[in-house]
Amino acid sequence: MAANTFHKLRDEIENGIVTGAFEPGARLDEAQLAARFGVSRTPIREALMQLSAIGLVEVRPRRGAIVVDPGPDRIFEMFEVMAELESMAGALAARRHTEQDKAAILDSHARCERSAASEDSDSYYYDNEVFHYAIYAASHSGFLAEQCAALHRRLRPYRRLQLRVRNRMKVSLSEHAAIVEAILAGDAETARSRLRSHVAVQGDRFSDLVSSLSQRQSTGTGGQPR
């Protein structure tokens, strides 16, 4: 991949936000970031501009950039849209998947099973990501795949929190199995509805999400400043 300074900086900062190194609401001081990465302010600004276009940071004119802090309601909305896009990808995948796609889906699913068996939450988290990307790819819609991937990245921190919830890993895995079955059977509508409920944050999971968010708020130094 093309590797200019601002490009790398963009990924670094995005990663910092997504992993929580830069907490929601935190100020992103240009000079400070420049010093930290050993570059001038120019590429830092360019990186921040890109992140603001994506919606990860908010640049307030003359008042600096901050990491956006989507409230629980907005995070819920994002999951809602994610569910719709993913279920669309699943439906398309059911109709369009090739032998290669099938192999990739089965392989990533098998990895998930192994990680779940060894109860390795971090490993499962990664394999789960690969599984979902395999479905995006199988949709054979480049644009949809990109949109899904972008949203998936943005929701990363919240999904990670969710996986901590009791038994979620096992439940997730059995849902995966049902999704795989529907896709490989070519049953678009079943794949759609199963993926929708797999991704959506419904019922108990919403309160789990909210509580994990408020937990983080209180421990972190971020949140609403001033």
100 binds DNA (CB under 7 A): no
SS (H, E, C) 84-105: HHHHHHHHHHHHHCCHHHHHHH
50 interface partner picked from a second copy, DNA, none, CB below 5 to 8 A per type: a second copy
Sheet holding 27-28, edge to edge: 27-28, 64-67, 57-60
**For the chain, what percentages of helix, strand and coil (3-state, to nearest 5) are there?**
75, 5, 20
Out of 17, 24, 26, 50, the residue judged to bind a second copy by CB under 8 A = 50
User: In the complex, what is the shortest distance from the CB of residue 208 to a second copy, in angstroms, rounded to a whole number?
Assistant: 20
Out of 30, 80, 84, 129, the residue judged to bind DNA by CB under 7 A = 30
CB nearer to DNA: give 65 or 134: 65
Find the part of the chain contacting DNA (CB under 7 A) among 35-43, 148-156, 169-177, 183-191.
35-43
41 interface partner picked from DNA, a second copy, none, CB below 5 to 8 A per type: DNA
183 binds DNA (CB under 7 A): no
31 binds DNA (CB under 7 A): yes
Find the part of the chain contacting DNA (CB under 7 A) among 61-69, 81-89, 119-127, 196-204.
61-69
Query: Which one-letter DSSP state was computed for residue 24?
Result: T
CB nearer to a second copy: give 62 or 166: 62
Strands (E), the chain: 27-28, 57-60, 64-67
Q: Are 212 and 161 in contact (CB under 8 A)?
A: yes
Distances (CA, A) of 128 to 2, 156, 163: 27, 11, 11
Q: Say if strands 57-60 and 64-67 run parallel, antiparallel, or are unpaired.
A: antiparallel
Residues near DNA, by CB under 7 A: 4-6, 27, 29-31, 38-43, 45-46, 59, 61-65
